[in-house]
């Protein structure tokens, strides 16, 4: 807040006005010779500033790119090992969680018609269970397997003639 005893000329703006009024105008000042070399040097420095920035940024970019390639090459073996370990953990987790072959054989033996036979049973590389069952009538086999809720996850992936029987291939995803 302004105090009443302060003069207007005592403010910052007032002092600036007083100083500017006390200076002689530009034309009245003594004009000395212009040093054109100094002016050209100053103009060159001003023009070279952005160019130096662009060149410096390019050098930093190349350096960072080379460092990135070097770090990627150094980390590649470790990343490959980590990926293998992750795949192994996933396979172990899947094997521990899924029922074993004996459990599936028990379930299938209880659900299948009496004249059907298991021709092949395997676990695929991706963890899926594949079963090939030979039966004289695949429709009766399908109906019998649908009655057991545990076997409902199996989907038919193929069918072929195997002598007097028809081999039905079933697959349950991991």
- For residue range 3-17, list pLDDT tens digits in order: 555 565 578 888 888
Neighbouring CB atoms inside 10 A of 129's CB total: 19
Q: Which of 99, 97, 152 is nearest to 121 (CA)?
A: 99
Q: How confident is the model at residue 35 (pLDDT cuts 50, 70, 90)?
A: confident
pTM confidence score: 0.48
Sign, CA dihedral 84-85-86-89, equals positive
| Residue 38 C-alpha from the chain's centroid | 56
User: Considering the domain 101-172, what is its CATH architecture?
Assistant: 2-Layer Sandwich (3.30)
What pLDDT, on the 0 to 100 scale, is given for residue 6? 56
What pLDDT, on the 0 to 100 scale, is given for residue 5? 53
Give the residue extent of every domain in the chain: 36-97, 101-172
Higher per-residue pLDDT: 55 or 102: 55
- What's the rounded mean pLDDT across residues 80-97? 87
């Amino acid at each position: 807040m302004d105090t009443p005893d302060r003069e207007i000329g005592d403010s910052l703006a007032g002092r600036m006005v007083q100083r500017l009024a006390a200076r002689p105008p530009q034309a009245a000042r003594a004009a000395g010779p212009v040093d054109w070399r100094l002016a050209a040097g100053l103009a060159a420095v001003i023009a070279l500033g952005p160019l130096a920035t662009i060149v410096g940024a390019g050098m930093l970019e190349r350096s960072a790119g080379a460092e990135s390639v070097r770090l990627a090459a150094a980390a590649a073996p470790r990343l490959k090992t980590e990926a293998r370990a992750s795949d192994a953990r996933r396979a172990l987790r899947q094997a521990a969680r899924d029922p074993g072959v004996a459990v599936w054989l028990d379930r299938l033996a209880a659900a299948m018609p009496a004249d059907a036979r298991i021709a092949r049973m395997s676990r695929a590389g991706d963890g899926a269970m594949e079963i090939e069952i030979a039966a004289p009538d695949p429709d009766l086999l399908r109906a019998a397997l649908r009655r057991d809720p545990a076997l409902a996850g199996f989907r038919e992936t193929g069918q072929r003639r195997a002598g007097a029987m028809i081999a039905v291939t079933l697959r349950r995803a991991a």
